[in-house]
C-alpha cells in the first residue's frame, strides 16, 4: 500500500477531546511517563543484557538513552501540535492512511498488553523471593486484578496512585545510586572486601569490554531498547493535561534527564558491584548488587521497591492501551462500544477488553513458569520497537503537514529533522534484526513478528468494511 496514495485529508483538532478530564500537570505526567518506561526492562531484563553483552551493556544503554530522547521528542512535537486522544495514531491516520493506523494501533494495544503481562510476571518473580511455594500464575492473577481496579478510578485518582508508585521507584533508584557509589568508593562501612576491591577496572577483568565480540553483544540490544519503551504515555495523556504546550515540553525534559541518569548510573554501579558473568536470569541485578553491599535487610527492601516499580509500569501500560482502543473506536477501526466513556470519564469497556487478553496471557505463567518472562519481554520489545518506527515514520510526514496547515502550532521541534529521525529508525532496525541471533530470544521474536503479520492480514480482510464505515 502506497503511503502517499492512501493519505486522508482529515485534519486533527488542536483542542483536547470532549469528555476527558484535564487533570494532569507536568509533575504527574512526568511520573506517569517514568512509570510507563521504568519497569522490568531495567530492573529484571538488565541482568539478561549484562549476561549476554558483558560490560558492553553500558554502551548499549547509553545509545538506548539517546535514541529514546529523539523518539520521545518526535512524539512530543506532534502531541503538542495536536493534543488529541489516541496519540500518534491520529497523526498516522492523517498522513499515512487508515491501513497503517489500523496496524499500528492494534500492535500498540497488543504490545501494551504484553508489557502488562511481562510486568505481572516480573512482579510474581519478585514475590517468590519471599513466598517460593506460591505458583507464579497466582501472583500474576492477584496483581492483574489490582491494576485493573486502579484504572477504574477517576483520572485524578489514577494519577495519584501512579504518582505514589512511580515516585517510590524513582526515589529508590536514586538511593541505589547513592548507596552504590558509597560502596564502590569504599565509603560504606559495611562494604565487604569483595566489593571494596572492585572498581572501574572490573569492566575489563573478564574478557574485556566485548567478551562475546561486538557482534555477539548486538542481540541484547532489543532488550535495552525495550527498557526505554513506554514513551507513548506522554502522547496518549496529551488530551488529559492542563496545558499541553507547556506540560508536555517540560515533562519531556524531566523524563529524559531522569531516565538517562538513573539507567546509565545504575548499569555502571551494577557492573562495578557484580562481575558480569555472575548475573542471574531469575533474580534482579539490583537485588544482587544490594546483597553485595552487605546492607542489613537491603535485598528484601530493594525487592519490595522493585515490586512497586513493575506494578507502576503495568499500571501505565494499561492506561496507554485503553486510550489507544478508545482512539481506534472513534476512527471506526475497533468496535464502537470501546469508544464509550463511563460516568467518571474513563473508557471502561476498553479496560475490560484489555483485561480479557491479560487473563489469557496469565496461562503462559502457568504453563511455562521458568520461561514466561523471557518470551514475553522479547515479544514485547519486538512490537514496542515496531511502534517506535511507526512514530518516527509518522513524524517524517506530519512535520511538513503541520508546516503547511498550522505552522503556528509547531512550537516544539525535534532537532536535526529529518536526519535524526532516520538515524533512530536505523538504530531500532538494527536492534530488531539482531534479536533473533540469540537462541533464547528467537521464540519471542517470532511471536512479536507474528503479531504484526496478523494485524496486516486482519486489515486486508476487513479494510473494505472499515473504509465503508468511515464514509457513512
> Can you give the pLDDT of all 472 residues of the chain as single tens digits?
334 333 333 444 444 444 445 556 777 788 778 877 887 788 888 888 888 888 899 999 999 999 999 999 999 898 888 777 656 778 888 898 888 888 888 888 888 888 888 788 888 888 877 888 888 788 888 888 888 887 776 555 556 666 777 778 788 888 888 888 887 777 765 555 454 445 555 666 666 777 777 787 888 898 899 889 878 777 766 666 777 778 888 888 899 999 999 999 999 888 888 888 777 767 788 888 887 777 777 778 888 888 878 887 787 778 777 877 887 887 788 888 887 877 777 777 888 888 887 777 677 666 665 566 666 777 778 888 888 999 999 999 999 999 998 888 888 888 898 999 999 999 999 988 887 776 666 677 777 788 888 888 988 888 887 777 665 5
426 in helix, strand or coil?
helix
> In this structure, what DSSP letter does residue 360 have?
H
Question: Which residues, in sequence order, are CB contacts of 181 under 8 Å at separation 6+?
Answer: 269
d(CA 465, CA 472): 11
Give the model's pLDDT for residue 372. Answer: 64
For residue 70, give the nearest of 389, 434, 408, 432 by alpha carbon: 389
Rg for the chain, CA atoms, rounded? 22
* Torsion from C-alpha of 437, 450, 110, 83, nearest 10 degrees: 80
Q: Which of 389, 387, 390, 382 is nearest to 448 (CA)?
A: 382
Spatial distance between the Cα atoms of 237 and 83, rounded to a whole number of angstroms: 8
Between helix 298-330 and helix 26-37 the angle, nearest 10°, is 110
Nearest Cα to Cα of residue 274 among 263, 256, 291, 289: 289
Domains of the chain as residue ranges with CATH: 4-471 (1.20.1740.10)
According to DSSP, the residues that pair with 241 across neighbouring strands are: 24
What's the pLDDT score for residue 224?
A: 92
Residue 420 confidence (pLDDT): 94
Q: Using CA atoms, how far apart are residues 346 and 323, in angstroms rounded to an integer?
A: 9
Q: For position 393, what pLDDT does the model report?
A: 94
Pair 350, 325: CB distance under 8 Å: yes
* Statement: the pTM of the whole predicted model exceeds 0.75: yes
What's the CA gap between 472 and 464, in Å, rounded?
13
pLDDT at 450: 83
Q: Which residue has the cell 489507544?
A: 324
Question: Would you state the cell numbers that stand for residue 228, as one nine-digit string?
Answer: 526505554
Cα–Cα distance list, 32 to 65, 77, 148 (Å): 18, 19, 16
| pLDDT value at residue 139 | 85
Please report the pLDDT score of residue 7 as a whole number: 36
Beta bridge partners of 24: 241
For residue 389, count CB atoms less than 10 angstroms from its CB and return exposed for 0-12, middle for 13-18, buried for 19 or more: middle
| Eight-class DSSP state of 449 | H
Q: Which of 179, 118, 177 is nearest to 144 (CA)?
A: 118
What's the rounded Cα separation, in Å, for the pair 108 and 464?
22
Is the Cβ–Cβ distance between 238 and 248 less than 8 Å? yes
Distance CA 273, CA 265 (A): 12
d(CA 386, CA 103) in angstroms, rounded, equals 10
Q: In 3-state terms, what secondary structure has residue 241?
A: strand
Place of cell 510526514: 397
Amino acid at each position: 500500500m502506497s503511503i502517499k496514495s492512501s493519505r486522508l485529508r482529515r485534519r486533527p483538532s488542536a483542542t483536547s477531546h470532549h469528555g476527558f478530564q484535564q487533570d494532569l500537570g507536568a509533575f504527574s505526567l512526568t511520573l506517569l511517563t517514568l512509570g510507563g518506561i521504568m519497569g522490568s526492562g531495567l530492573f529484571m531484563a538488565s541482568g539478561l543484557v549484562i549476561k549476554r553483552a558483558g560490560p558492553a551493556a553500558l554502551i548499549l544503554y547509553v545509545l538506548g538513552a539517546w535514541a529514546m530522547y529523539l523518539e520521545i521528542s518526535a512524539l512530543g512535537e506532534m502531541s503538542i501540535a495536536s493534543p488529541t486522544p489516541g496519540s500518534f495514531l491520529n497523526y498516522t491516520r492523517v498522513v499515512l492512511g487508515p491501513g497503517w493506523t489500523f496496524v499500528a494501533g492494534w500492535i500498540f494495544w497488543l504490545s501494551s498488553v504484553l508489557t502488562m503481562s511481562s510486568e505481572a510476571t516480573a512482579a510474581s518473580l519478585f514475590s517468590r523471593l519471599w513466598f517460593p511455594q506460591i505458583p507464579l500464575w497466582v501472583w500474576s492473577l492477584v496483581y492483574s486484578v489490582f491494576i485493573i481496579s486502579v484504572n477504574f478510578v477517576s483520572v485524578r485518582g489514577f494519577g495519584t496512585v501512579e504518582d505514589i508508585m512511580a515516585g517510590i521507584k524513582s526515589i529508590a533508584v536514586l538511593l541505589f545510586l547513592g548507596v552504590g557509589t558509597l560502596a564502590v568508593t569504599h565509603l560504606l562501612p559495611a562494604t565487604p572486601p569483595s566489593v571494596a576491591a572492585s572498581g572501574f577496572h572490573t569492566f575489563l577483568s573478564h574478557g574485556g569490554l566485548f567478551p562475546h565480540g561486538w557482534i555477539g553483544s548486538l542481540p541484547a540490544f532489543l532488550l535495552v531498547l525495550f527498557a526505554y519503551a513506554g514513551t507513548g504515555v506522554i502522547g496518549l495523556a496529551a488530551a488529559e493535561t492542563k496545558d499541553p504546550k507547556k506540560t508536555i515540553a517540560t515533562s519531556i525534559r524531566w523524563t529524559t534527564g531522569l531516565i538517562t541518569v538513573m539507567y546509565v548510573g545504575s548499569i555502571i554501579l551494577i557492573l562495578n558491584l557484580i562481575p558480569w558473568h555472575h548475573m542471574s536470569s531469575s533474580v534482579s541485578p539490583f537485588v544482587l548488587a544490594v546483597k553485595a553491599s552487605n546492607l542489613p535487610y537491603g535485598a528484601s527492601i530493594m525487592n519490595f521497591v522493585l515490586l512497586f516499580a513493575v506494578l507502576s509500569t503495568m499500571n501505565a501500560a494499561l492506561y496507554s492501551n485503553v486510550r489507544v482502543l478508545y482512539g481506534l473506536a472513534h476512527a471506526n477501526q475497533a468496535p464502537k462500544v470501546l469508544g464509550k466513556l463511563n460516568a467518571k470519564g474513563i473508557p471502561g469497556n476498553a479496560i475490560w477488553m484489555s483485561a480479557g487478553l491479560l487473563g489469557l496471557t496469565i496461562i503462559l505463567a502457568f504453563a511455562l513458569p521458568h520461561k514466561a518472562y523471557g518470551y514475553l519481554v522479547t515479544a514485547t520489545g519486538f512490537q514496542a520497537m515496531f511502534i517506535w518506527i511507526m512514530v518516527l515514520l509518522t513524524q517524517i510526514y506530519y512535520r511538513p503537514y503541520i508546516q503547511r496547515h498550522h505552522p503556528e502550532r509547531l512550537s516544539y521541534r525535534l532537532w536535526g529533522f529529518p536526519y535524526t529521525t532516520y538515524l533512530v529508525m536505523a538504530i531500532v532496525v538494527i536492534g530488531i534484526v539482531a534479536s533473533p541471533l540469540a537462541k533464547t530470544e528467537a521464540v519471542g521474536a517470532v511471536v512479536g513478528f507474528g503479531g504484526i503479520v496478523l494485524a496486516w492480514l486482519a486489515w486486508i480482510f476487513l479494510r473494505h468494511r472499515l473504509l465503508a464505515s468511515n464514509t457513512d
